[in-house]
Amino acid sequence: MRVESSHKSGAPLRLAAACAFLAAALLAFSPAVRADDDDRDRQGDVDRVAAATTAFGEVMDVPERAIPSAVLTKAEGVAVFPAVKKGGFVVGGQWGRGILSVRGARGTWSSPAFLTLTGGSFGLQIGGQEIDLILVIMDRKGLERLVRNQFKIGVDAGVAAGPVGRDAQAATDIQMRAKILSYSRARGLFAGVTINGGTIKQDRDANRRFYGRSYSTSEIVFERLGGAPPPVSGWREALNRFAAGN
Q: What pLDDT digit, counting tens, does each position of 181-238 carry?
A: 889 888 667 777 767 778 899 999 999 999 999 999 999 999 999 999 988 999 999 9
| Angle at alpha carbon of residue 112, lines to 111 and 118, rounded to 5° | 170
How far apart CA 123 and CA 111 sit, in angstroms, is: 36
Q: What pLDDT digit, counting tens, does each position of 30-60 carry?
A: 444 444 556 677 899 999 999 999 999 999 9
Instruction: List C-alpha distances in Å: 149 to 110, 114, 187, 242.
Output: 18, 12, 32, 28
Q: What pLDDT digit, counting tens, does each position of 163-177 carry?
A: 888 655 544 554 556
pLDDT on residue 188: 65
pLDDT on residue 195: 73
Question: What single-letter amino acid sits at 11?
Answer: A
Q: What pLDDT digit, counting tens, does each position of 124-163 carry?
A: 344 457 888 899 999 888 898 889 878 887 777 778 888 8
Provide φ and ψ at 115, rounded to 5°: -130, 160
Residue 22, number of CB atoms within 10 A of its CB: 10
3-state DSSP call for residue 6? helix
Cβ–Cβ under 8 Å, residues 234 and 51: no
How far apart CA 175 and CA 161 sit, in angstroms, is: 7
pLDDT on residue 121: 55
Provide mean pLDDT across the span 101-129: 77
pLDDT on residue 17: 67
Residue 214, number of CB atoms within 10 A of its CB: 12
Confidence category of residue 19, pLDDT binned at 50, 70, 90: low
Provide mean pLDDT across the span 105-119: 91
Residue 4 has pLDDT above 70, yes or no: no
How far apart CA 47 and CA 173 sit, in angstroms, is: 37
How far apart CA 240 and CA 83 sit, in angstroms, is: 23
Computed over every residue of the chain, the mean pLDDT equals 79
